[in-house]
Amino acid sequence: MNTLLDFYYKTRQRFPDITKKADAIHIKYWGDLDPEYAYSWFESLAKTINIDMANGVNYEIHKELFEFMEESAQNGVNEIFNCIDVAFIENLFWQVPKQGIDEYWPPLPHLLKELYGNFHGHAP
């Protein structure tokens, strides 16, 4: 992936089920979908996962997405890394109850944990 837009489209294509949910949240908070606002969409994706965590959705449902995020952060251009860090990770775990955090934090890929800790200064 060479650009943030490539990453945006690839994420949407590879994970269609959660994309539908994230689209609904994005439209609710931001209005129409527009790839030019990919950062906002990745924030909506984090909110979608937070809702799933709060509702007891098993980590395994999102494991492949988290692995994809880690791989993309490691191998992508700076623009992709920054989007994952700022839009996705900084919003992950926001207002999630302890039981959701307890299921999702331990198996979360190392780099994603590191990014979260770098921003928040601690685990969720």
Instruction: Classify burial at 118, counting beta carbons within 10 Å of its beta carbon; exposed 0-12, middle 13-18, buried 19 or more.
Output: exposed
B/e letters for 81-106, b = 16+ CB within 10 Å, e = fewer, are bebbbebbbbbbbeebeeebbebbbe
The pLDDT, as a whole number, for residue 1 is 60
Give the per-residue pLDDT at 32: 84
CB 50 within 8 A of CB 93: yes
Q: What is the pTM of this model?
A: 0.93
Q: Is 26 exposed, middle or buried (0-12, 13-18, 19+ CB in 10 A)?
A: buried
CB atoms within 10 A of CB 18: 18
Task: Give yes or no for residue 8 having a pLDDT over 80.
Answer: yes
pLDDT tens digit sequence for 25-81 = 999 988 888 777 899 999 999 999 999 999 999 999 999 999 999 999 998 789 999
CB 52 within 8 A of CB 101: no
pLDDT at 77: 87
| 95 pLDDT more than 80 | yes
